[in-house]
Amino acid sequence: MGGQRKAPRARDRVIGARLKAIRSERTDLSLEQAAALAQWSPATHSRIENGKRTISTEDVATLATIYRLTAAERDELVVEAKAGDSAGWWDRPLPGVPEDIGTLAAYEAEAIRLTDWSVNVVPGLLQTYEYAVGMMRSGDADPADIETRWMARLRRQQVVVTAEYSAFIGEAALRTPFGGADAMRRQLQHLIEARRRGIRIRILREHRPTVLVTHSWLMLEFANTTPVVYVEAKHGSLYLHDDIAQTYQPLLASLEKEALSASASTALLREIVEEI
């Protein structure tokens, strides 16, 4: 198990969670006992189960043998691990695109459900070209990198047709015309049309006395492991796991309670379009 290893991927978290569940539910082995049988340290085994280490097909095969899985179960896990080795576009860094965007795209590709809370801008997964470019130009993006960044964002947007996606958006985001009035009008119309494609969009009205208006975040939920919360910051981003990620569940419940209904949100979007 020596040699240089790649950084853990989103899929490693899913595979690790499955391996942990198998050990806990189908064997009497403690983490330390399983590590001893695999001939690696308890720390290594813990990192495997928590997706904090790249999990190779050899690792999977070793644990499948220790846990006495059937040949069919072993082969299924090995195929899943091999699939994780398949490169997505995010594994080939794009010039001018922050490396963290590739990490986020990898997490999004594994998620079965995504929930955005965006305070002041339309979420990236719902942005139109003109709006996104206008927003990048207003920030510190190098003009030479804008088109490449947009292509990366456009590729990320493909996830909304494969995973369940919901967006809670602060009203202020709907009244900040990045790219100009015409671009903003088309962006709002895009949000209205998104509902017809099965995307749930709900608006949180301005001037509500709520602790929700702190920062934007994206909750990613997976089939076989706990959610991850992505928080974008000015100089780098954070991925929150386990107990810390769970603290965002009450915030999500509050959003569900405080935001306008889907139909009322659509009505407000139409009102703002008429105002522009």
pLDDT tens string 171-208: 999 999 999 999 999 999 999 999 888 899 999 998 76
Q: What is the residue extent of each domain of the chain?
A: 10-85, 96-275
* Beta strands across the sheet bearing 113-118: 200-204, 164-170, 113-118, 217-221, 228-233, 236-240
The pLDDT value given to residue 82: 77
DSSP letters of 90-122?
A: GGSPPTTS-HHHHHHHHHHHH-SEEEEEESSS-
Domain 10-85 and domain 96-275 have a common topology: no
The sign of the dihedral angle between the CA atoms of 230, 231, 234, 235 is negative
* Tokens 């929150």 sit on residue: 240
DSSP per residue over the chain, as a string?
A: --S--PPP-HHHHHHHHHHHHHHHHH----HHHHHHHHTS-HHHHHHHHTT-SPPPHHHHHHHHHHTT--HHHHHHHHHHHHHHHS--GGGSPPTTS-HHHHHHHHHHHH-SEEEEEESSS--GGG--HHHHHHHHHHTT--GGGHHHHHHHHHHHGGGGGTSEEEEEEEGGGGG--TT-HHHHHHHHHHHHHHHHTT-EEEEEPTT---TTTT--EEEEE-SSS--EEEEEETTEEEEE-HHHHHTTHHHHHHHHHHSPPHHHHHHHHHHHHHH-
Query: In the prediction, which pLDDT does 3 show?
Result: 45
Q: Tell me, what's the pLDDT at 6?
A: 60
d(CA 156, CA 150): 10
pLDDT of 136 reads 94
Instruction: Give the model confidence (pLDDT) of 157-175 as tens digits.
Output: 999 988 999 999 999 999 9
Question: What gap in Å lies between CA 188 and CA 37, rounded to an integer?
Answer: 58
In words, the CATH class of domain 10-85 is mainly alpha
Task: Tell me the C-alpha distance between 79 and 82, whole Å.
Answer: 5
Can you name the CATH fold of 96-275?
Endonuclease; Chain A (3.30.870)
> The tokens 């994206």 sit on which residue?
218
Q: Cα-flanking dihedrals φ and ψ of residue 174, to 5°?
A: -85, -10
Please tell me the predicted confidence (pLDDT) of residue 197: 84
Which pLDDT value is given to residue 90?
59
Q: Under a CB-based contact definition with an 8 Å cutoff, are residues 54 and 6 in contact? A: yes
Mean pLDDT of each 10-residue bin along the chain, 276 residues long: 56 83 92 95 92 87 93 85 62 70 85 94 97 92 89 91 93 96 97 90 83 81 88 80 90 93 96 94
- Residue identified by tokens 């978290």 is 13
